[in-house]
Amino acid sequence: MIEFITIILRFASNGEKTGWTYIEIPADIAQQLKPGNRRSFRVRGLLDAHPIAGVAVMPLGEGKFILALNADMRKGIHKGEGAMLQLRLEEDTDFVVLMPEDLAECLEYEPEAYEFFNSLAKSHRNYFIKWIDSAKTQATRDKRIAQTVNAMVKRWDYGMMIRASRKDV
């Protein structure tokens, strides 16, 4: 596990990241976490004494990465912008999002759709899975599974599916 101290920052105006509270992981430390990597990956460890797992670290440029601090993390560390934070991190190689059984069953009826789904990057499959799992009612869940299977048949990514569903409304 790699240990370092950093300062909690906040994006003032930066597109979709505006208002995000985050920490910056310097390039040299990022290379120790996952050598030769410049793409997003998951980490686990401690923010002060607050445990984290499966948290995405995103590229910022010039080899640096950011780790966004969500509300649960901020409450867990009891700190905000400008505070110093001790980190103990390592790559989370155990992180998985399991495919819901009902989605797998539906995709089995469309082998080409299932194959396309599995060809997507793990992070892209996770968009669909998290969206389906966030449904509050069974009717909404069923509709989202149907939309996902339809999108896979059409070889659409998550964004294309969402845009198409908004046009239909």
Write down the pLDDT at residue 122: 81
Strands 50-61 and 41-47, bridge-based pairing = antiparallel
If residue 141 lies in a helix (H) or strand (E), which one and from where to where? helix 138-153
Give the C-alpha separation, 137 to 154, whole Å.
26
In 48-155, where do the E strands start and end? 50-61, 64-68, 84-91
- The two three-digit tokens of residue 32, written as one number: 């120790």
* pLDDT above 60 for 79: yes
CB contact at 8 A, 20 and 11: yes
- Could you tell me which residues are beta bridge partners of residue 24? 66
Q: What are the residue ranges of CATH 2.40.30.100 in the chain?
A: 2-91
CATH superfamily of domain region 2-91: AF2212/PG0164-like (2.40.30.100)
CB count within 10 Å of CB 8 equals 19
Summarised one tens digit per residue, pLDDT across range 99-150 is 899 999 999 999 999 999 999 988 889 899 999 999 999 999 999 999 999 9
Write down the pLDDT at residue 93: 87
